[in-house]
Amino acid sequence: MNIFDSKLEFRGFIGAVIVLILVIPLLNAFGSEGSLFHVSAFELSLWGKYITYAVLAMSLNILWGYTGLLCLCQSLFFALGAYAFGMYLMLHVGVDSVYNTSLPDFMDFQGYTELPFYWAPFESISFTVVAVFLIPGFVAFIFGYLAFSSRIKGVYFSILTQALTYALMLLFFKNNLELFGRSFILFGGNNGLTDFKEIMGADVNAASTQRWLFISSSLLMLGVYLLIAWLITTKFGKIQQAIRDSENRVRFSGYSTTSYKMLIFVGSAMIAGLAGALYVPQVGGINANEMTPAKSLDVVVWVALGGRGTKFGPILGAIVVSIIKSYTTRAYPDSWLIILGLIFVLVVLFMPNGLVGLPKQLKPWIDRIKNRGSKVVEATSPSAP
C-alpha cells in the first residue's frame, strides 16, 4: 500500500530525511565556524526545539484534524513527558557543591536528606523512557474515559480539557503538596527542573550530544509523519475521519466511537509526551509555564495556520509561527500576543485550509488573471488579412 499521495510528496520526504539526518548534523560537526556552511550549536538546538513543537502540532492534528476533537490540553501531555525525562536528568546532575548531596537542589534547600519514593525510579533510564509514554497516556486514559463515556464532545470537551490543563498547572507550580496530613515535595515549583549535566553518561551540553538529540527529534517527526500517512489509509483511519464528519452515523453503523476516540486520544498524548522528553535536554529545562492553557492555544494556532487535517500542515505551521515568535519577542516584545491573535483571525477568515491549502485556494484567482491576460492579447493582436 502506497502511503504517499504523489511522487512529489515521496521525494519531499526523502529530501527531508537527507537534510535533517545527514546534512544539518554534518554541517554542525564539520562546517567551518563563521562560514555559510556551518550550523552553530545554538541554531541546532533552536531547530531541534522547533521540530519537537512540530511533533506536538502533529499530535493535536491527529485529534482535531482527523477526528474532530479540539483538545486544549495537548501542551499538558507535552509537559508531562518533559517532566518525566527532566526528573531523570535532575537525578544525574551529580553532587551539589553547596549541599554536598546528589539530591536535586530544591530538595536540599527544603531540608530533604533522602530521595522521595516517587522520585527514586526515575534514576533508571529504562523506567524513564516507559514513564514518558505511560504518564501522559494514563492521564489521557482517565480523563478520556470519563469524558467519552459521558458522550461529552464539541465545545464542552474543549472547555474540560482546558480546565484539566489549568488544574494540573496550578499543582505543578506548587513546591509541596499537602495530602493525608503529609507534605510531598513536587517538581521544583516556579523554577521547575533545570541545570542538567548528563544524559546516559554523556555531557548533555556537548556538541555531539546535541547533534544526537537533534537527529532523534528529526527521526521522531519523520516517524510520526509516516504513522499518520499510513493510518489514514487504513480502515481505522477511515472510521476516524468518519467520526469527525458524522459521529452519530458511525455509531448507528455499529462502531463504538468511544473506543476509537479513547485510543486516538491516548495515542496522541503519548506522542506529545515523547516530543516533550526530547524538548527538555535541548532547551535545558522545564517548568509549569509549558503547560499553561495559553500554550495549548498556541498549538491550535500552529495547526490552523499550517492546515488542519493535512499531513504536512502542522509541521509548517509550528515552524513558521515559532520563527515569527522568535523574531517578534526580540523586536516587539509587547506585541507578540496581538500578532498571534491576528494570525489566527486571518487564518479563520481568509485561509480556512491553512498555508498548505493556499495554492489550491488561489488557483481560481490565478487562472482568472491568466484568462484576462490572454483575452487582452487576443483583442490587441492584428487580425489576419
User: Does 385 score more than 60 pLDDT?
Assistant: no
CB 305 within 8 A of CB 343: yes
Per-residue pLDDT band for 93 (boundaries 50, 70, 90) equals: confident
Q: Which of 124-138, 181-195, 254-268 has the lowest mean pLDDT?
A: 181-195
The pLDDT tens digits of the residues spanning 297-350 come to 899 999 999 989 899 999 999 999 999 888 888 888 788 788 888 888 888 888
Residue with cell 550550523: 39
Reported as type and span, the H/E element at residue 177 is: strand 176-179
pLDDT at residue 379, rounded to an integer: 64
User: Does 49 score more than 60 pLDDT?
Assistant: yes
Task: Provide mean pLDDT across the span 370-383.
Answer: 65
- Roughly how many angstroms between the first and final C-alpha of the chain, as a whole number? 59
User: Does 104 score more than 60 pLDDT?
Assistant: yes
Among 302, 279, 278, which Cα is nearest to 289's? 279
Is the overall model pTM greater than 0.85, yes or no? Answer: yes
pLDDT at residue 167, rounded to an integer: 92
Burial state string for 28-67 with b = 16 or more CB within 10 A and e = fewer than 16 = beeeeeeeeeebeeeebbbbbbbbbbbbbbbbbbbbbbbb
Per-residue pLDDT band for 233 (boundaries 50, 70, 90) equals: very high
The pLDDT tens digits of the residues spanning 234-292 come to 999 999 999 999 888 999 988 889 999 999 999 999 999 999 999 999 998 899 888 88
